[in-house]
Chain A
Amino acid sequence: MTDKEIIEKINTALAEEFELDEASMLPEAHLFDDLELDSLDLVDMVIVLEQTFGFKIREEEEIRSIRTLGDIHAFVIRKRHQRLQSS
């Protein structure tokens, strides 16, 4: 899967689960200010990402520091690369 495909997959899953407008889902979109998510949605976001990509997320600090949609893209891409390297 290319990075572009990963980003599309993330956006589609989040749009559906959080009822977001795909047009507003720009990488620089701030989760809380622009997409109107809140810190409580982070756990559900983690679950959606786990289910979509089939990995387990234990990185509490990294999740805590996520602010924009682009941060989520970068996190997932990084995690997939780590998995590919270790497998």
Chain B
Amino acid sequence: MKFDYAVIGAGASGMSTAVILAKHGYSVALIEAAHTVGPLLRGFERKGIYYDTGFHYTGGLKKGGVLDIFFRYLGIMEHIEPIPFDPEGFDLIRFFAPDGDFLFPYGYGRIRDRLLKAFPKERAAVDAYLGAVKESFQSRPYLNLEKEFSPLQELRSVHGPSLKDVLDRLSPDAALKRILSAHCYLHGAAPGDVTFTQHAVVVGSYYESVHGLRGGGARLVHAFEKTLFDHGVTVFCGRRVSGIDLSFQGKPESVRLADGEHISCRACIVSLHPRQMLELLPSKRFRPSYVRRLEGLDETFSAFILYGKSRSLNQRLNGKNIFSFFSPAENGFLEKGPLHRRPLFISSAVPKKGASTEPGFIAICPATLGQVGAWLHSRPGRRPEGYRAFKARVMEMLKDRVRESCPEISGDIEIVEGATPLTLRDFSRSPAGSLYGVKHRVGQYNPVSLTRIDGLYLAGQAVVAPGVLGAVISAFLACGSILGHDRLRKELNACL
């Protein structure tokens, strides 16, 4: 069968791309190397607890919010059940030395009030910061449906200012700056590394509303599966793509699978890591400058992750996440150094329906692939003893960190599962094991949807921003390049 479009990679961006194109009457093949679509979003179950892996919470899902509009357009909203986090505080930002908690609310008014209560002398800084976030967020196409898309718009913001530049200009208060930088962990670039605009694109959606989903990321994947089916997308799972064949005119004409089969198409959207796109095509098809640019893209940080459970986990964690920092003075982004000085992100995990077990939690500590560098050549299921012992030690240390920084989880903590940068590399197919794939940083030009090859497009978090929202927007950008941005914007506006 010949398809109009082949979409490679069935994460949030690939699945969204497939649905948008199918909605317009095109035949679409969606090809995924894992055995199911949305492998990262799907999470996993252990000992009666469901643990999310790719999705924890999101902004933009309030009624009329950006993600609400996108999900309604994609036919997903009717299959999911968003659960609002506590508007009075969705993230608890905690310092250890000196100790102190800051409960971060959502809604611009609430955020302002809370910040002014904690930092009464910083009124001008708080107002300027919140105003700038709002303005940057609303200046982006698809986040604001009235803004037009321009391929060169990045030139204005790519050289900064960085988040750190802006905060340093606004205020001398280290604690205030640390609190406003805490959400860097939602995009994986340090305060001095991320452009203010990019930071605003990510946190701006959370400042308006914060939701989890009943059933977590797994429920979101089921919703995608339903809408893919409803729109007649043909899904190929467990099929690794080995190349894209180009016609005599230089346009994609088929996708080559590792098992030898070809899927014919007349255009192709790649929603993989941009470097993996290069591997699918003859290198001469791209300019040397473009190849070097994609090969040189910086990655976001990786992590050690503890999946645990505890009888004493109290209700306070429900509806909240905890960001634990050693000290407000350490404004760095600590994926290096001793584990007990690194920040920790803690989020709750829910027992599976009907399972009689204690509540679970997920603790994420930033790390780099180099920290497991001795075992880079090992693969899942065949890791050497030295690695397993190292991982067990790290998990014990994380357990101590959780106990120390989180009295909400005290006493009996059971380690249910663990992940290291190697786990992330091998399961999320992110070459450097990074949590959020390619970084969006000052001075780095990330790729856009269009490529030099007519009929070949790029989608995924590298293009716009990480997270479900970034992934979905990248799908609209890729499809806008194909179908026309005005047309898509009008259709989205009709969902308002």
Contact = CB atoms under 8 A, between A and B. Distances in A.
Contact of B289 (A38, A48, A59, A60): A48
Contacts of B448: 40, 43
B374 interface: no
B287 A17 contact: yes
Contacts of B290: 44
A18 B288 CA distance: 7
Interface string B145-184: 0000011111110010000000000000000000000000
A40 B159 contact: no
A63 B152 contact: yes
Given A40-B448, A44-B293, A56-B159, A18 B287 contact: yes
A43 B151 CA distance: 9
A48 B287 CA distance: 12
B288 A57 contact: no
A56 B442 CA distance: 11
Given A16-B288, A17-B287, A17-B288, A47 B155 contact: no
A47 B287 contact: no
Nearest to B156: A60
Nearest to A57: B155
Contact of B287 (A39, A44, A59): A44
Interface string A52-74: 00001111100110000000000
A14 B159 CA distance: 22
Nearest to A20: B287
Interface residues of B, number: 19
Contacts, number: 52
A63 B153 CA distance: 11
A26 interface: no
A39 B150 CA distance: 11
B291 to A, nearest CB: 10
A57 to B, nearest CB: 6
Interface centre among A19, A47, A63, by most chain B C-beta atoms within 10 angstroms, is: A47
A72 to B, nearest CB: 14
Interface in B436-487: 443, 445, 448, 450-452
A60 B153 CA distance: 7
A41 interface: yes
A80 to B, nearest CB: 17
B287 to A, nearest CB: 5
A41 B159 contact: no
B289 A44 contact: yes
Task: Give the interface size class of chain A.
Answer: 20 to 34
A76 to B, nearest CB: 15
Interface string A23-42: 00000000000000011111
Given A16-B288, A17-B289, A19-B288, A40 B452 contact: yes
A47 B159 contact: no
Contact of A60 (B152, B287, B288, B443): B152
A46 interface: yes
Given A16-B288, A38-B452, A58 B155 contact: yes
Interface centre among A44, A46, A64, by most chain B C-beta atoms within 10 angstroms, is: A44
B56 to A, nearest CB: 33
Nearest to B442: A56
Contact of A47 (B151, B445, B450, B451): B445
Contacts of A43: 151-152, 154-155, 445, 448
A26 to B, nearest CB: 20
B155 A46 contact: yes
Nearest to B443: A56
A64 B154 CA distance: 12
Nearest to A17: B289
B152 A64 contact: yes
Interface of A: 16-19, 38-48, 56-60, 63-64
29 contacts: A16-B288, A17-B289, A19-B288, A39-B151, A40-B151, A40-B452, A41-B289, A41-B452, A43-B152, A43-B155, A43-B445, A44-B287, A44-B290, A45-B289, A47-B293, A48-B289, A56-B159, A56-B443, A58-B155, A58-B159, A59-B155, A60-B150, A60-B152, A60-B153, A60-B155, A60-B156, A63-B152, A63-B155, A64-B152
Given A38-B452, A43-B151, A63-B152, 9 more contacts: A17-B287, A19-B288, A39-B151, A41-B289, A44-B289, A46-B155, A46-B445, A48-B289, A59-B155
**6 closest Cβ contacts across the A-B interface?**
A17-B289, A44-B289, A60-B155, A56-B159, A60-B152, A60-B156
